[in-house]
C-alpha cells in the first residue's frame, strides 16, 4: 500500500497544509478571463439603472422634471425620493447609527449625491436619460472645512434638529453644535494633562491625514432580481459582507430574510470600499420589484471616487511628554474628524472613531488621552477602513509621526527612541493606557533584526555625508531614512464589544466531508483577492488530514454559507480562520471515535498523526482520514450518527495584534520634488504563517497602496465642494514604473488565544507603510529644520517644502 512506503514528511507535504506556499486555486479562472465578477452577469431581460447626480455640494432641490427623460428611447422609469417615500426607502440607516438619503430628499449635501435613478434598457440609454432629467437647484453655502463647519450658522442636517430647533443627542451621545456628530473619548484626561504639564520635554504637532479612497480596480455594483413567482429576491453584488447586507436589505425592505439571497461573486478588490450599503443597491432592488425584471447597477470610476466610501480625513493634534532621557510618560491626541454629509463610517457600533484608541502604538506609555469630534461637512459620506482595521492607520500614523517629532526635540536618534520605549516581551499580554490588551509581541527582536538587515548605522553615516555634499553643492539630492514600528489591531472582534448594526462580529465555518475523502467548507467571509479558497483549505488540511487539493472552499452565497460578518479589517484569518480550525477539530473528534471503533480500541487509545488516526504505541495500526470518511457513510457505528460534518461559530476572545518593522530609504531631488525609493525593507510578524507566498503578495500590495497614499493619492475638494480628483488622471494610482521592489522579512510570534496562532496580515503593510514612506520624506528634510509636513507628499508639495526651507538658493 502507498501509505506504508510514504514517509511522514511526504505525507505532510502531500497535504499542502499550513506553512507551505501552495499555489492559488483561484488563478486558473482569472488568468483565462473566466472570472465571474458582478458586471459579467447577464440575465434574461436585464435592465440597467444609473443615477442623476448633483453637480452642487450643497443645494436645495426646487424641482425635478422627468418628463423629457421618460420620452428618451430606452428609458423605462425615473425614480426620485418621492417615489421611494411611500415605501419608506428614501432614506436608509448607515452603519454608524446615522441615516442617509437614498435619493435627494429636498436637498443635496455633497457633489455627486444621488438625485434620481433612471431605469433603462442599456448603458447608452442611461447616459441619454440622465442628460434629459431636469433638476432645479438653489445653491446653499458650502462647508468643506470641519473647523468652520463647527462655527457656522449654516445647518447641514435640518433633519437632525428637534422641532424647537434644539439639537438632540446623536447615536454616540450629545452633540455640541448642529454640524457636530459626536465626541468620543478614551483614556484619562486629567492625569494625562497633568503629566504633560509637568514633563521634562513635550513635543507638539498638528497633522492632517488627508481624505483618500480605497479605489479597487473594480468599482461597486449589483444586480437585483425579484422573482415575483416565488417571492424571492436575489441580489448579486460587490459585497465585502454579504450576510450583513442580507439582514440590512430585509430590515429596510420588509422582505423576510429567508426570501433574500445575497451572492458576492468574484470581487475585483475591496480594500474597504465594498463594506457599506449604497443607494445603488436600494434603488436597484426597488427597480427590480417594480419592473419584475433583473436590474443591474455598476458605478463608473467617477461615481466611485466621488461618492462611495472615502477614507481618513482626520485632523490630528498631538502632544507627547517624555523625560530628558527619552522615556515617554504620556500622550494626548485630539482629532477633528470630517465625516461628510452623512455619518456612514463603517466601524463597530461602540467605536465611532474606530480603533483610533490604539494610538499609543507599540510603546509602553503609562498615561494617555484621546478625544475625537466627528463633524458634518459638504463632502461625500464614508469613512471606511481603507486596507485598515477601523482607523488603526490613522492611529499608527499619528504615533509614528509623534515619535519622530519627539526625537527631534530630544535630539535623539529615532530608532533608539523607539527601542527604549517599546513594550517589552515579558509585558505581554499588555494592558494599554487607552484600553486594549495586546496579545503577544517581541518588538525588540524584530526591530534589531530590521536595523541590522538595512545596516542602519551605515545608512545614517551615508545620510550625514549626503547632507555635507549637499551643503557643499556637490549634489541636489537629499536622502531620507523612514522608520516605522507598528502594532496593528485586527480580527474584530469579540462579540462583547464589537458589533455592526447589532450583529456580533463572530464568524463561521461549516464543513462537509464526502465519502471518498474530499470535502467542501463554507465560510461567512468573502475573498476579494486574498486567496481564501487557497489558504482556508490549507488550515483545514492541517487540521483534518485531508489534502488541501481535495477541499473546496466556498464563500459569498447566503443561501449556502453560514452567517458571518464578512471580510474587512483583516478579520478573515483571525476570526473565520479560527472558526475553520475549530470546525476542523470537531470533525477530527468524531473521526477519532470512528477510527477507534474501526481499530477496535478505546477512543483514547488512538492519536491523530498528519492524515490518520493510529493506535498509540502501534503506529502500524491506523485508519487514514480517507478510510474514516468512507466508514462514516457506509456502516452503522454504534452510538455515532452517520455522516461527517461540523460547523463552528467563533467568537474571538480578543483581537490579534500583528506588528512589524519597516525601513524606507529614499532619495529626493530638491529641484523637481521627485522622490525615488531606493530601498524598502518590511519585516512583518503576523503570528503563524499559513501561506508565505500569499503573505508576501499581501505585503507587496499593501505597501504599494501605502506608497500611493503617502506620496500623492488624495480626494481633494475646492472651496465650492467640487471634487478635484474624480478621475484616475488626478487620483494617483501607482503604476509598475513608480513602484520599487520590496524586501520582505518576518519573525513569528503566534497569537496565544487564536487556535492556530495566526494574526492576519493583509492590512499591516498599508498601516505601517504610510508612516514609513512619509517619515522618509520628512527625514530627508530634517537636517534643514523640518519637523513635519502634511501628506500626500506629491512632487509639488515636496518641492514646496524644499523651497520653504530655502534649499533652492
- What cell numbers appear for 544 in the block? 483534518
Instruction: Please check whether residue 797 is in contact with residue 782, taking contact to mean a CB–CB distance below 8 angstroms.
Output: no
- Which of 240, 528, 698, 713 is catalytic? The answer is 240
Question: Is residue 317 classed as helix, strand or coil in its secondary structure?
Answer: strand
Q: Contacting other proteins (CB under 8 A), which of 215, 316, 388, 478?
A: 215
CB of 130 to other proteins, least distance (A): 14
> Which is nearer to other proteins, 596 or 683 (by Cβ)?
683
With CB under 8 A as the contact rule, which of the stretches 27-35, 182-190, 308-316, 581-589 interacts with other proteins?
Answer: 27-35
627 binds, among other proteins, ligand FES, none (CB under 5 to 8 A by kind): none
Binder to other proteins among 705, 714, 779, 794 (CB under 8 A)? 705
Minimum CB separation of residue 369 from other proteins in Å reads: 37
736 lies in the site for other proteins, by CB under 8 A: yes
What are the CB-based long-range contacts (under 8 Å, 24+) for 739-743?
A: 739/704, 739/707, 740/677, 740/678, 740/679, 740/680, 742/680, 742/681, 742/682, 742/699, 742/700, 742/703, 743/453, 743/679, 743/680, 743/681, 743/682
**Active-site position among 763, 772, 778, 782:** 763
User: What is the nearest approach in angstroms of other proteins to the Cβ of residue 30?
Assistant: 3
CB 645 within 8 Å of CB 590: no
Separation of alpha carbons 702 and 490, rounded Å: 15
Instruction: Determine whether 387 is an active site residue.
Output: yes
CB 145 within 8 A of CB 717: no
Write down the residue that cell numbers 505597501 correspond to. 703
Return the number of the residue (357 or 698) whose C-beta is nearest other proteins: 698
796 binds other proteins (CB under 8 A): no
Q: Which residues bind ligand FES (CB under 6 A)?
A: 217, 269, 529
Closest CA to 271 of 215, 221, 313: 215
Binder of other proteins out of 531, 547, 750, 783 (CB under 8 A): 531
- Verify whether residue 512 is a known catalytic residue: no
The distance from CA 655 to its chain's CA centroid, rounded to whole angstroms, is: 15
Min separation Cβ 453 and other proteins, Å: 18
Options 388, 664, 686, 772, the catalytic residue: 388
- Is the Cβ of residue 269 or residue 294 nearer to ligand FES in the bound state? 269
Q: How far is the CB of 701 from ligand FES (least distance, A)?
A: 8
The residue range among 53-61, 363-371, 639-647, 696-704 that interacts with other proteins, by the rule CB under 8 A, is: 696-704
The Cα 708–Cα 766 span in angstroms is 10
**What's the min distance (Å) between Cβ of 35 and other proteins?**
5
CA-angle at 553, arms to 551 and 554, nearest 5°: 145
Residue 265 binds other proteins (CB under 8 A): no
Query: Which residue bears the cell 436590474?
Result: 295
Report in angstroms how near the CB of residue 699 gets to other proteins at its nearest. Answer: 8
Q: Which helix (H) or strand (E) holds 677?
A: strand 675-685
Interface residue with other proteins, options 697, 716, 745, 788 (CB under 8 A): 697
Calpha distance 520→543 (Å, rounded): 14
CA distances in angstroms from 312 to 214, 317, 387, 569, 626, listed in the order given? 10, 15, 11, 15, 50
Q: Which stretch binds other proteins (CB under 8 A): 50-58, 527-535, 564-572, 638-646?
A: 527-535
- The beta-carbon contacts of 722-728 under 8 Å, at least 24 apart in sequence, are 722/57, 722/111, 723/111, 723/112, 723/305, 723/306, 723/380, 725/305, 726/112, 726/302, 726/305, 726/306, 727/301, 727/302, 727/305, 728/301
- Binding site partner of 700, from ligand FES, other proteins, none, Cβ cut-off 5-8 A by kind: other proteins
- The catalytic position among 53, 312, 387, 401 is 387
Quote the cell numbers at residue 375.
Answer: 463633524
Q: Compare residues 330 and 529 and give the one whose CB is closer to ligand FES.
A: 529
**Beta carbon nearer to other proteins, 376 or 680:** 680
List of residues 6+ apart from 737 with CB closer than 8 A? none
Site string for other proteins, 270-299 (x = CB under 8 A): -x--------------------------x-
- Give the integer Cα–Cα distance in Å for 603 and 614: 11
Grid coordinates representing 400 are 509614528
Total interface residues for other proteins by CB under 8 A: 62
Residue 2 found at the interface with other proteins (CB under 8 A) = no
The helix/strand/coil state of 782 is helix
Summarize as ranges the residues that interact with other proteins (CB under 8 A): 23-24, 26-35, 37, 39-40, 42, 72-74, 122-125, 128, 215-219, 266-269, 271, 298, 300-301, 528-531, 693-694, 696-697, 699-705, 727-729, 733, 735-737, 739, 741-742
**Residues labelled as active-site residues:** 240, 387-388, 763
Amino acid at each position: 500500500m502507498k501509505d506504508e512506503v510514504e514517509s511522514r514528511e511526504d505525507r505532510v507535504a502531500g497535504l499542502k497544509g499550513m506553512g507551505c506556499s501552495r499555489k492559488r486555486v483561484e488563478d486558473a479562472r482569472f488568468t483565462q478571463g473566466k472570472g465571474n465578477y458582478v458586471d459579467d452577469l447577464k440575465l434574461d431581460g436585464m435592465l440597467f439603472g444609473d443615477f442623476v447626480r448633483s453637480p452642487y455640494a450643497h443645494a436645495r432641490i426646487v424641482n425635478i422634471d422627468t418628463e423629457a427623460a421618460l420620452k428618451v428611447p430606452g428609458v423605462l422609469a425615473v425614480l426620485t425620493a418621492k417615489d421611494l417615500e411611500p415605501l419608506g426607502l428614501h432614506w436608509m440607516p448607515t452603519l454608524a447609527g446615522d441615516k442617509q438619503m437614498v435619493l435627494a430628499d429636498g436637498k443635496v449635501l455633497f457633489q455627486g449625491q444621488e438625485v434620481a435613478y433612471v431605469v433603462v434598457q442599456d448603458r447608452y440609454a442611461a447616459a441619454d436619460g440622465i442628460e434629459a432629467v431636469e433638476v432645479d437647484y438653489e445653491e446653499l453655502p458650502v462647508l468643506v472645512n470641519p473647523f468652520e463647519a463647527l462655527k457656522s450658522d449654516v445647518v447641514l442636517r435640518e433633519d437632525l434638529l428637534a422641532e424647537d430647533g434644539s439639537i438632540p443627542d446623536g447615536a454616540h451621545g450629545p452633540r455640541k453644535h448642529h454640524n457636530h456628530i459626536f465626541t468620543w473619548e478614551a483614556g484619562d484626561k486629567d492625569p494625562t494633562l497633568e503629566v504633560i504639564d509637568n514633563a521634562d520635554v513635550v513635543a507638539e504637532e498638528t497633522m492632517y491625514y488627508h481624505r483618500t479612497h480605497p479605489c479597487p480596480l473594480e468599482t461597486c455594483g449589483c444586480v437585483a432580481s425579484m422573482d415575483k413567482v416565488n417571492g424571492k429576491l436575489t441580489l448579486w453584488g460587490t459585497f465585502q459582507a454579504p450576510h450583513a447586507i442580507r439582514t440590512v436589505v430585509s430590515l429596510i425592505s420588509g422582505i423576510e430574510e429567508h426570501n433574500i439571497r445575497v451572492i458576492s461573486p468574484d470581487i475585483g478588490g475591496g480594500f474597504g470600499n465594498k463594506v457599506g450599503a449604497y443607494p445603488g443597491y436600494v434603488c436597484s432592488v426597488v427597480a427590480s420589484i417594480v419592473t419584475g425584471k433583473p436590474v443591474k447597477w455598476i458605478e463608473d470610476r467617477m461615481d466611485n471616487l466621488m461618492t462611495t466610501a472615502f477614507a481618513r480625513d482626520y485632523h490630528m493634534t498631538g502632544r507627547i511628554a517624555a523625560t530628558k532621557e527619552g522615556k515617554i510618560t504620556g500622550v494626548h491626541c485630539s482629532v477633528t474628524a470630517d465625516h461628510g454629509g452623512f455619518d456612514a463610517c463603517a466601524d463597530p457600533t461602540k467605536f465611532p472613531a474606530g480603533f483610533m484608541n490604539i494610538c499609543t502604538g507599540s510603546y509602553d506609555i503609562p498615561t494617555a488621552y484621546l478625544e475625537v469630534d466627528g463633524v458634518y461637512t459638504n463632502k461625500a459620506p464614508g469613512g471606511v477602513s481603507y486596507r485598515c482595521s477601523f482607523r488603526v492607520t490613522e492611529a499608527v500614523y499619528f504615533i509614528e509621526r509623534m515619535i519622530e517629532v519627539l526625537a527631534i526635540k530630544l535630539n535623539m536618534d529615532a530608532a533608539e527612541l523607539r527601542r527604549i520605549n517599546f513594550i517589552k516581551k515579558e509585558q505581554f499580554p499588555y494592558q494599554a493606557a487607552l484600553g486594549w490588551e495586546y496579545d503577544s509581541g517581541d518588538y525588540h527582536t524584530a526591530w534589531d533584526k530590521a536595523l541590522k538587515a538595512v545596516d542602519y548605522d551605515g545608512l545614517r553615516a551615508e545620510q550625514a555625508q549626503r547632507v555635507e555634499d549637499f551643503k557643499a553643492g556637490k549634489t541636489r539630492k537629499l536622502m531620507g531614512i523612514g522608520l516605522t514600528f507598528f502594532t496593528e489591531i485586527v480580527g474584530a472582534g469579540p462579540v462583547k464589544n464589537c458589533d455592526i448594526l447589532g450583529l456580533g462580529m463572530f464568524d463561521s465555518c461549516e464543513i462537509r466531508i464526502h465519502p471518498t475523502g474530499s470535502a467542501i467548507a463554507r465560510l461567512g467571509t468573502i475573498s476579494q483577492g486574498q486567496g481564501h479558497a487557497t489558504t482556508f483549505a490549507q488550515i483545514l488540511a492541517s487540521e483534518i488530514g485531508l489534502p488541501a487539493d481535495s477541499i473546496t472552499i466556498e464563500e459569498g452565497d447566503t443561501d449556502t454559507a453560514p452567517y458571518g460578518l464578512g471580510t474587512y479589517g483583516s478579520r478573515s484569518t483571525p476570526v473565520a480562520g479560527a472558526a475553520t480550525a475549530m470546525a476542523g477539530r470537531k470533525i477530527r473528534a468524531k473521526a477519532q471515535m470512528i477510527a477507534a471503533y474501526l481499530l477496535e480500541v478505546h477512543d483514547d487509545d488512538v492519536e491523530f498523526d498528519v492524515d490518520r488516526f493510529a493506535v498509540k504505541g502501534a503506529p502500524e495500526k491506523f485508519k487514514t482520514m480517507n478510510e474514516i470518511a468512507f466508514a462514516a457513510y457506509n456502516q452503522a457505528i454504534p452510538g455515532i450518527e452517520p455522516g461527517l460534518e461540523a460547523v463552528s461559530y467563533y467568537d474571538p476572545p480578543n483581537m490579534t495584534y500583528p506588528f512589524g518593522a519597516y525601513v524606507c530609504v529614499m532619495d529626493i531631488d530638491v529641484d523637481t520634488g521627485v522622490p525615488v525609493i531606493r530601498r524598502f525593507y518590511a519585516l512583518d510578524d503576523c503570528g503563524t504563517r499559513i501561506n508565505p507566498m500569499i503573505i508576501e503578495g499581501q505585503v507587496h500590495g499593501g505597501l504599494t497602496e501605502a506608497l500611493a497614499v503617502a506620496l500623492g493619492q488624495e480626494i481633494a475638494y475646492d472651496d465650492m465642494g467640487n471634487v478635484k480628483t474624480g478621475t484616475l488622471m488626478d487620483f494617483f494610482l501607482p503604476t509598475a514604473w513608480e513602484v520599487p521592489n520590496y524586501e520582505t522579512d518576518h519573525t513569528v510570534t503566534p497569537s496565544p488565544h487564536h487556535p492556530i496562532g495566526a494574526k492576519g496580515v493583509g492590512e499591516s503593510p498599508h498601516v505601517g507603510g504610510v508612516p514609513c514612506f512619509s517619515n522618509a520624506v520628512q527625514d530627508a528634510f530634517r537636517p534643514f529644520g523640518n519637523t513635519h509636513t502634511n501628506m500626500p507628499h506629491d512632487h509639488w508639495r515636496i518641492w514646496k517644502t524644499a523651497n520653504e526651507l530655502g534649499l533652492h538658493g
